Amino acid sequence: MNQILVVDDEKGMRDFLSIMLKKEGYGVVTAENGAAALKAVQDEIFDLVITDVKMPELDGIAVLKAVKEVSPETIVIMVTAFATTETAVEAMKLGAYDYITKPFKVDEIKLIIQKALEKRSLRKENILLRREIVSRAGFENFIGKSEPMQRIFSLIKQVADTKSTVLITGESGTGKELVARAIHFNSARKDNAFITVNCGALPETLLESELFGSMKGAFTGAVSNRQGLFEAANGGTIFLDEISSTTPALQIKLLRVIQEREFKRVGGTTDIKVDVRLLAATNRDLQTEVKRGSFREDLYYRLNVIPIHLPLLRERKDDIPLLADFFLKKYSSNREPKKITPEAIKALMNHPWPGNVRELENTIERMVILAAGDTIEREQIQEIIKDVGPCPELVPSDIPDAGLDLEALLENAEKTLLKKALERTGGVKTEAAKLLGLSFRSFRHRLQKYDSSS
């Protein structure tokens, strides 16, 4: 429901607009003067403000300036019985959507409000669409004929059209986001927003404001009121990846959203109601995290209503030829895809693929670029796999007679694996962190330890 603030010092006009707007299905708050309006916009985010221009003390122009400072996305319509060209020009320069003269026709203002809110809605949809275009990449990669994947597909069909929370588990690169996306796009919510949030990629404060929104001044850098992703996903689905990296304080807020379907913005006092389906994913064992005390048990049970565990690529070897063929076509652009010999396919199927489907995709992309000729041979596969293959043994199987420096050994192993992970992912730290089963914050902290010592 769109929220509208009506500001007018005349009670009759406030009541008239309030009754009319409520009949149209809008949520309405009224303010009898500019000061009350300023307090309202500081406490709440409105989709639209309708304000009289001429009011004692703080006039409509002051209200317009305050709204645009505190909540830039809010649309403002100016209404006045004393229209002047200068005031109208000033209002439009300051960002007013329209300038209406009293008396006005009811149908006229209804149409203007409708068009204004459509414009705001379109702007929000464009932001979500840009986000969706980025995150939708690879959805078609979710293919497989193996028995484990057929079970996954069947489970997705069963749970898609329910409202239940789903916890998706599996190692990095197994396709957890693709499962979440398939659930959403096979549900009744498919025409509404699907929003992905990487919980390990942001510090706690920023993640909280990203999810729940924030009010101006709630923390350093909060220069305006801002809606969060739970509000943006209203009516749709929100997918929380790396849920295990959230802090206990944030877990309490997530628990409340699941249980009560409401939350408060950071720095806010108003409860925001939402209808959002929550899907979560992790590459860690949450039961172990619960025993360690790093993850709330009550949140775990709320998330784990329907568990879906994704198999490792080496556990679904029958899918490797299909995936290899798909990635070959994907990275061959406009030219004829290269052929892979049966021996080369066997080499792919015999590899353990510690990085799962993501590693296979990276390997095929490299083959398309580096392999000469139209056919990919076994030797070329083995050469590329060797280059991106697992590290040599980092920890000796036994303790030498002379002893060893355990701290130095573990530091060297960590440093080597961090470097290998970055090489594997082309320097993308969030992906490198996933390969090592770390949160982004933990990965960055470990990396900085060695950067500062070098």
pLDDT digits (tens, 9 = 90+) for 212-229: 998 888 887 777 888 899
Predicted pLDDT of residue 127: 57
* pTM score, whole prediction: 0.66
What is the side-by-side strand order in the sheet with 306-309? Answer: 194-198, 237-241, 277-282, 166-169, 306-309
Q: Which two tokens stand for residue 204?
A: 């706690």
pLDDT digits (tens, 9 = 90+) for 109-127: 999 999 998 888 777 666 5
Distance between alpha carbon 49 and the CA centroid of its chain, in Å? Answer: 29
Strands 277-282 and 271-273: unpaired
Of 61-70, 193-202, 389-398, least confident by mean pLDDT is 389-398
Residue 426 has pLDDT above 80, yes or no: no
Closest CA to 9 of 26, 25, 33, 30: 33
Predicted pLDDT of residue 134: 42
What's the mean pLDDT in 349-376? Answer: 86
Segment holding 238, helix H or strand E = strand 237-241
Residue 237 has pLDDT above 70, yes or no: yes
Residue 393 has pLDDT above 60, yes or no: no
Residue 89 has pLDDT above 90, yes or no: no
Residue 404 has pLDDT above 80, yes or no: no
Predicted pLDDT of residue 388: 44
Of 95-104, 161-170, 185-194, 421-430, least confident by mean pLDDT is 421-430
Q: What domains appear along the chain, each with residue ranges and CATH number?
A: 3-126 (3.40.50.2300), 139-309 (3.40.50.300), 313-388 (1.10.8.60), 406-453 (1.10.10)
What's the mean pLDDT in 385-391? Answer: 52
Predicted pLDDT of residue 273: 92
DSSP E strand boundaries for 277-413:
277-282, 306-309, 339-340, 375-376
Question: pLDDT confidence of 206, banded at 50, 70, 90?
Answer: confident
Ordered DSSP codes for 15-73: HHHHHHHHHTT-EEEEESSHHHHHHHHHHS--SEEEEES--SSS-HHHHHHHHHHH-TT
Question: pLDDT confidence of 71, banded at 50, 70, 90?
Answer: confident
Q: How far is CA 345 from CA 215, 251, 316, 340, 384, in A?
A: 56, 45, 14, 7, 13
Report the share of the chain in percent with pLDDT over 90. 43
Of 93-97, 116-120, 375-379, 381-385, least confident by mean pLDDT is 381-385
Residues forming a β-bridge with 11: none
The residue among 205 and 253 whose pLDDT is bigger is 253
**Distance in angstroms between the alpha carbons of the first and the last residue of the chain:** 56
Residue 396 has pLDDT above 80, yes or no: no
Of 11-20, 309-318, 361-370, least confident by mean pLDDT is 361-370
DSSP E strand boundaries for 48-179:
48-52, 75-80, 98-101, 166-169
Predicted pLDDT of residue 451: 66
For the chain, what is the mean pLDDT? 85
Distance between CA atoms of residues 11 and 48, nearest Å? 19
Q: Which one-letter amino acid corresponds to residue 49? A: V
